[in-house]
Structure 1
C-alpha cells in the first residue's frame, strides 16, 4: 500500500474490534481523513496516547481501500494534556473539534484554512492570556467565515446599507437595517455588535475591555448563528459554560 505523511489534529475516535480505533483527523494537506489505528487500545501500545482528541500530530499512513491505516504517529503539540485538567477549556475545545468536523462536508478535500484556524484556536485555548469562552466565540465566527458563512456586523446583510444597525438575524447573515428587519430578529445593544466585530477580527484588546453583559449577549448570538448554519444543534455546546 502506498505511504504518505500528514500533519493533523485528532478530532474524534471510536472503537473498532477488540484493540483498534477509527481516528477522525483534520489534516493540513488532505482535509478530513478517517483512518484505522491498529492495536492502540492494548496496554502495550507505544503510541495510543498520541492519537487522543486535541492532539496535534505528524503521521505516516498507508492508503487503504476503505480506510487508511496509521503506521506511525509523532506528537507535535499535546493540547490534550493541557486541556484535560480544565473543564471550561476542555468543553470549549470539544465544541471546536465538533465544529471543525461538521463544517467540512466532503472527506479528502483541501481545508488548509480550517486546519490552521483549529490549531491556532487550540493554542489560544491553552494560553492563560485568553478566556475560553472568548476564544471559542472567535473560533466559531472565523471558521464559519472560512466555510462561506461570513456574518456582517457593520453593513446591512440584506441591502448593504452602512451601519451601525441594531437588528440581528442569523438566517439573514448578520445585522439588519430597520427597513430589512425580519420578524423575530434580535435587538442587541450597540456595544454587543461591537464585541461581535471584535471577535470576528480577533481584536482582543477590544474584547477584553468589554463588559460581561455584552460578552454574554454576544455569545448567545454567536451560538444562534453557528447552529443556524450547521442546520442542527452542536451536541458539545450543551456542556460549555456560557
Structure 2
C-alpha cells in the first residue's frame, strides 16, 4: 500500500544531523503546525535540495507520512528572507528568536492556529530591512501572545477591567493594573509606553514609531533642561515589559532573546 503524502508551505525552525548524510528537520507548516521530518542524503554535495532546507527560507515541501518522522522528498523555494538578516547580528538573533518563539507556542498548544504562520513570515520579511529589529521582535511577541490567548492587557486593568491609562504593569496579573489592584513588585510604567505597546499589538507600526520617537525626544529634552532622574527610553521599556510577560506565561526564557539582549 503506498504511503500517504501531502504538500505544505513550511519554514525550517531547526535541524539535527542524522547519521552520515541525513538530517532531521523541524518545520513550522502553514496548516499542520510543527512537523518533524527526515531528509535523506541532504548533507551530500550532490543533494538536489539540501541547500534550501535552511532557516529563513519559505518552502513548498513534499512530505510522506512516517511512523515517527515524515519523509521529506522535495522542497521548492517560495521565498528567501535571509538577505538582510544573516549579515546583521542583531537582525539575525531577532529572527532566530521569532522562530524559537513560534516553536514554543506550537508546542504549548494542542490545536494549531493558522494565524501564527503568516505572522512569522511577515515578521521575517520586515526584519530584512527593519531599522529597529528588537522592536520588530517585540511586535511579533505581542501579536503571537494574542494568537495564543494570553496577550497582556494594555488599556483596561487586567484585574478589575477599569479603563486606563494606568501606571503599573504586572505579568502575573495579566498586564496593566490600576492603583487599587496593583500588586507588590508591579513595575512603574509611563502610560504612553503601554499605549505604544497597544499600537504594536494591533499592527499600527507607523503610529507606534511616531509615539515612541516623540516620547524619547521629550525625555531627552527634559533631561537636558532639568535636574530629573534618567528616564528609561520608551523602546527599552517596551522590550522589558514584553519580555517579562512572555517569560512569565511560557515559564521559560528564549535562548535567542538572551543573546539579542547582549548585542
Shorter-chain TM-score range: over 0.9
SS in 2 for 1:66: coil
Note closer, same or farther for the CA distance 1:65–1:47 as it changes in structure 2 (3 Å cut). Answer: same
Alignment-derived partner of residue 186 in structure 1: 187
Is residue 229 from structure 1 mapped to residue 259 from structure 2 by the alignment? no
Matches within 5 A, 1:57-136: 57-105=59-107, 109-128=111-130, 130-136=131-137
Alignment-derived partner of residue 42 in structure 2: 40
Note closer, same or farther for the CA distance 1:82–1:205 as it changes in structure 2 (3 Å cut). Answer: closer
Note closer, same or farther for the CA distance 1:107–1:64 as it changes in structure 2 (3 Å cut). Answer: farther
SS in 1 for 2:182: coil
Asked if the contact 1:8–1:28 (Cα under 8 Å) also holds between the matched residues in 2, the reply is: yes
Aligned length: 241
The structural deviation recorded for 1:14 is 1.0
Alignment-derived partner of residue 222 in structure 2: none
Note closer, same or farther for the CA distance 1:191–1:8 as it changes in structure 2 (3 Å cut). Answer: same
Structure 2: how far apart are the matches of 1:31 and 1:124? 22
Structure 2: how far apart are the matches of 1:107 and 1:222? 20
Structure 1: how far apart are the matches of 2:63 and 2:110? 14
Asked if the contact 1:30–1:109 (Cα under 8 Å) also holds between the matched residues in 2, the reply is: no
Note closer, same or farther for the CA distance 1:107–1:171 as it changes in structure 2 (3 Å cut). Answer: closer
SS in 2 for 1:154: coil
Structure 1: how far apart are the matches of 2:17 and 2:245? 33
Report the TM-score, using the length of structure 2 for normalisation.
Answer: 0.87
Note closer, same or farther for the CA distance 1:234–1:106 as it changes in structure 2 (3 Å cut). Answer: closer
SS in 2 for 1:7: strand
Deviations 1:36-61 (A, max 9, x none): 01111112212112111121100101
Asked if the contact 2:142–2:201 (Cα under 8 Å) also holds between the matched residues in 1, the reply is: yes
SS in 2 for 1:45: coil
Select which of 234, 237, 257 maps to 1:214. 234
Structure 2: how far apart are the matches of 1:187 and 1:206? 23
Structure 1: how far apart are the matches of 2:140 and 2:166? 24
- Uncovered stretches (5+) of structure 1, i.e. residues with no partner: none
Aligned CA-pair RMSD: 1.6
The structural deviation recorded for 1:112 is 1.0
The structure with the largest alpha-carbon Rg is 2
The structure 1 segments of at least 4 consecutive aligned residues displaced by more than 3 Å after TM superposition are: 106-109
Note closer, same or farther for the CA distance 1:126–1:151 as it changes in structure 2 (3 Å cut). Answer: same
The structural deviation recorded for 1:109 is 4.3
**Stretch of structure 1 that moved more, 104-113 or 169-178:** 104-113
Alignment-derived partner of residue 10 in structure 1: 12
The structural deviation recorded for 1:78 is 1.1
**Stretch of structure 1 that moved more, 200-209 or 19-28:** 200-209
Structure 1: how far apart are the matches of 2:115 and 2:207? 24
SS in 2 for 1:41: coil
